[in-house]
Chain A
């Protein structure tokens, strides 16, 4: 259970020492064909992310940050260049191998929550474990634990339409973390929330970071990015800046 968060200004900023290399992107490009036009979404991006990092990916729309996030999340493969995830070459994997990486190594949090509308919180959180092939009893135990960890121990049998926006996003976070992934990948996690609830979700992220999770947040809001320890900015398909964020 998470205690009520103290005011944001007083959150002590710990920076955990970086662990082993998780993400290693070398000179990655991505081309899209939009009708007759070819769009260069990424024009040669190199990026290393280590375990225990808390990183924000920023940039205006059209900068290629969504493409980069899809790439990092193994939802998409690069047109050229290499992507090693935990030492494995992801760029040449088949769809089903990618599905397996996403299932075990990556926890997704979406802007629109993307919960199954007719399923309870518990079942939503169980879903990745079903695809991982866990037996029902183990699934339920781990899903329960994950929900308690985001403070929703009393909302397990509620369906999404019985939950507030913040609670829905917490369910999504629990779902993302239930299979103990290497990274938590959040795409505009506060985009559909009011600023107060958004701030609560970001505090949850801070705590998850303290607990030892590696987090990547894609956002265009400076306030959100300020929670991260490192921020990269994309512009026109290139990394424009990559620096640690200070207080």
Chain B
């Protein structure tokens, strides 16, 4: 108890000295802190960028749906043995019907619904304007069950419109904005490949997938209408919703079996299709993301390292300047620990000041970025504050330790004689 109290008094004294010292050497302290400030700004800004990329990435993956399996010819992600895939038979709309039947006949199936999707890039024309590079696709009314997307206005086509191949469509948010600026697109007509389509709905804004593909630049129509305009032989895939996303892997196994039956594949034969899901996508992109994060933090960490060297340097200077004071304190009964603590606290104090100012600078820059470039993926979070404060303290302790240790070890006789 007595030891604890003494430790506390010595700690308080050390903090007092540290502040007095920093105030007495303002210019020097500011310059030293500047090194830490730059380091912390670099690291935290990199942190916000990494966070932002991460969030953007996860949002993008969420668009794919975490409970949807994609039956496709090609796997997502890089492949080296393309020759093993190129001769696979394309996925057909007929596969979807057969797959649905297999699933219906499976007791306790983990799969809920199969939706065929066929699409391509096309231009969409309204009466007086047109937009290019729109992802136009056809699907069935069941699409509503796998897509969690909201509608700005209107609805998706129903079963009757779908099977009858009616000339109706739903526009992505940006398409509707481009062709019908400032007014409702509902009931209007667009032309795709010369065919007129009546607009029965507009999707709400969804955003971009990994900043590459905009989910708002699309147009959906009944598959039976789509196939009148475009070939669906090579551009179809199947989307299968699972009942319970916690059992995605089992559902995937079931789907593989069902598809093999649909395709009439023999045992021992390799699958001639691929089941894609967002997890697989994640598995491909996660290492890239991690590499970016590590490289980024390493490079920005170097600037913090330079700041730490500055702290170490100034603590060495401080110890040298106050050698006589250290001798006096030792003569008056300061233990090694007391002297160590005193200089560590001084180093940590400068780091904490640097960390706090750096944090504020980062936050200001972050707000500026958000204001000027709202599309730029940055994200600031409270744990980033905690982490960078911790980093500051640890930086101070590490860089202050060598000089403080040296000070604590000084021979009082030698220190007292030092001029």
Contact = CB atoms under 8 A, between A and B. Distances in A.
A130 B330 CA distance: 12
Contacts of A110: 328, 416
B412 interface: yes
Given A134-B9, A135-B9, A128 B332 contact: yes
B329 interface: yes
Nearest to A69: B413
B10 A130 contact: yes
Q: Which of B6, B327, B328, B338 has the most CB of A within 10 A?
A: B328
Contact of B332 (A76, A119, A175): A175
Nearest to A76: B413
Interface in A118-165: 118-119, 127-128, 130-136
Interface string B5-31: 110011001000000100010000000
Nearest to B23: A118
A116 interface: yes
Given A75-B416, A118-B20, A102 B9 contact: no
B169 to A, nearest CB: 79
Interface in B146-195: none
Interface in A67-111: 70, 73, 75-76, 95-96, 99-100, 102-104, 108, 110
B9 A128 contact: no
Nearest to A131: B333
A114 interface: yes
B334 interface: yes
Contacts of B320: none
Contacts of B145: none
A131 B331 contact: no
Contacts of B325: 114, 116
B335 interface: yes
Contacts of A128: 332-333
The 5 lowest CB-CB distance pairs between A and B, nearest first, are: A103-B333, A133-B6, A131-B333, A114-B328, A128-B332
Interface of A: 70, 73, 75-76, 95-96, 99-100, 102-104, 108, 110, 114, 116, 118-119, 127-128, 130-136, 175, 179
24 contacts: A75-B412, A76-B411, A76-B413, A96-B335, A96-B336, A99-B333, A99-B334, A99-B336, A100-B333, A100-B335, A102-B332, A103-B332, A114-B331, A116-B325, A118-B24, A119-B20, A127-B332, A128-B333, A130-B13, A131-B10, A131-B333, A132-B6, A133-B2, A175-B332
